[in-house]
Amino acid sequence: MVLAIIRSGFVAFPMSTRNSAPALEHLIRATSCRYIFGSVHTPNAPASVLQETTASVLSHIPPLHLLGVPEYVDLYPRLGQQPVSPYNTNDDPLHAHQSLSVRSYPQYANISKDNVVFYLQSSGSTNFPKPIPSTHKSWIGECRDVDTGGFDMVGSRWGVMGLPPFHGMGVCLMLGASAACGSISVMFNPSSPIILPTPENVIAACKRGKAAYLLVVPSMCVDWSHDKDAVKQSAMMKGVLYGGGLLPKETGDQLVKAGVKLAIEYGSTEAGLLLKFGMERYEPADWEYGERYPTMQAELVPEGNGLHRLIVDTHPIAVSNQPGTRAFDTSHLLKEHPTRKGFWKVIGRVQMT
């Protein structure tokens, strides 16, 4: 959906379905959204929480138009069948979905690297989430950063079905990596309702899809550490990368001891990938540490006790929060490896007083 919206000349904005109605209204108004994909309840059928939220948003923003999400089986009737029948050059096009033509906005022809390609939302941990604009320039830069860590990306399979599709990590690695580097994103089968990721179905999908690498949030690693079969499957992969938060040291040490090639994937929606996405100089005992991008110019402001606050000066940053210069203060605290120069561990966030 995101790629289709962009290809049609529109600006996509994937939002979390966990947002409250006021939070969604805030994001929609801040970006002047005109259309929303979703559904509202129908007579004689109970409404879901999401449908009630959508109805509330529509009632408070009258100019907003509701669009239905096309079903996979309607777009690709043959592929929606089980088992999938072989392609027939004469018969298949006759049964393909004949959708209405969509005309792009005229300005799409004059698009530049500084135009916004999509919006993502910040975490909203302390307030309403903020819309983060990503331009073509910052998006291309972030996608290129994926292919700098020594992975053999072309044709490799990456399990990304457990990532949040509304944050930078999910969009970059679900869509950007495959488009920029030729990797294959292993996802859940399209279905209605959609399949929500759990520790059990993510590891099962990776096994079935023969994923060589797996990208997940830390909570899934914690759950898998208590499941012998999940640990065994994880250890068979070329790498398990976690991001979006910190992983308890005892959990990481346990997984590494069991043979899991564990590594950190650190970045932010606002500033992109901040430690090298890769395992080129991987040391199992240093799974918490990542290598800084050599081309990234950044300030490491001392905060005491060997900790430094990371301010990114030159990188594909999407937004700036520093007066008078284009830079982004991550408010994240990093600590350098005691013996491996250029390798850093994420400690946490600066405590605001």
pLDDT score of 103:
62
User: Computed from CA positions of residues 76, 108, 103, 167, in that sequence, does the dihedral angle turn out positive or negative?
Assistant: positive
Categorize the per-residue pLDDT at 126 as very low, low, confident or very high, splitting at 50, 70 and 90: low
pLDDT score of 323:
87
Tell me how crowded residue 16 is: count the other CB atoms within 10 A of its CB: 16
Pick the most confident of 52-61, 160-169, 257-266, 343-352: 257-266
Q: What's the chain's average pLDDT?
A: 87
Residue 189 CB partners (closer than 8 Å, separation 6+): 195
Q: pLDDT digit string (tens) for 157-202?
A: 999 999 988 888 888 888 888 888 889 999 998 887 789 999 999 9
pLDDT score of 309:
96
Half-sphere exposure of 128 (CA within 13 A, CB side): 14
Residue 74 has pLDDT above 50, yes or no: yes
Q: pLDDT digit string (tens) for 89-121?
A: 777 666 655 555 556 666 667 788 889 999 999
pLDDT score of 15:
92
252/190: higher pLDDT: 252
Q: Locate the DSSP E strands across 33-75.
A: 35-37, 65-67
Categorize the per-residue pLDDT at 353 as very low, low, confident or very high, splitting at 50, 70 and 90: very low
pLDDT score of 137:
87
pTM of the model: 0.87
Tell me how crowded residue 150 is: count the other CB atoms within 10 A of its CB: 13
Q: Is 127 helix (H, G, I), strand (E, B) or coil?
A: coil
What is the secondary structure of 248-261 as a DSSP string?
Answer: -HHHHHHHHHTT--
Distances (CA, A) of 25 to 21, 48, 281: 6, 18, 45
CB 162 within 8 A of CB 197: yes
pLDDT score of 49:
85
pLDDT above 70 covers a percentage of the chain that reads 93
- Which of 22-36, 49-63, 74-88, 249-263 is least confident? 74-88
Instruction: Find how far residue 218's CA is from the centre of its chain.
Output: 14
pLDDT score of 128:
87
245/92: higher pLDDT: 245
Q: What share of the chain is helix, strand, coil (3-state, %, to 5)?
A: 30, 20, 50
Q: pLDDT digit string (tens) for 284-331?
A: 999 999 998 877 889 999 999 999 999 998 777 888 888 888 899 999
Structure tokens at 76: 């690709």
The angle formed by the CA atoms of residues 80, 85 and 91, to the nearest 5 degrees, is 95
Taken in order of first residue, the domains within the chain and their CATH numbers are 24-110 (no CATH), 147-349 (3.40.50.12780)
pLDDT score of 216:
95
CA 232/CA 259 separation, integer angstroms = 8
Categorize the per-residue pLDDT at 138 as very low, low, confident or very high, splitting at 50, 70 and 90: confident
Q: What is the mean pLDDT of residues 275-286?
A: 86
Q: pLDDT digit string (tens) for 222-236?
A: 999 999 999 999 999
Distances (CA, A) of 306 to 57, 195, 249, 341: 47, 44, 19, 14
What is the secondary structure of 17-40 as a DSSP string?
Answer: TT--HHHHHHHHHHHT--EEE---
Structure tokens at 181: 């580097």
Residue 81 has pLDDT above 80, yes or no: no
CA 158/CA 190 separation, integer angstroms = 17
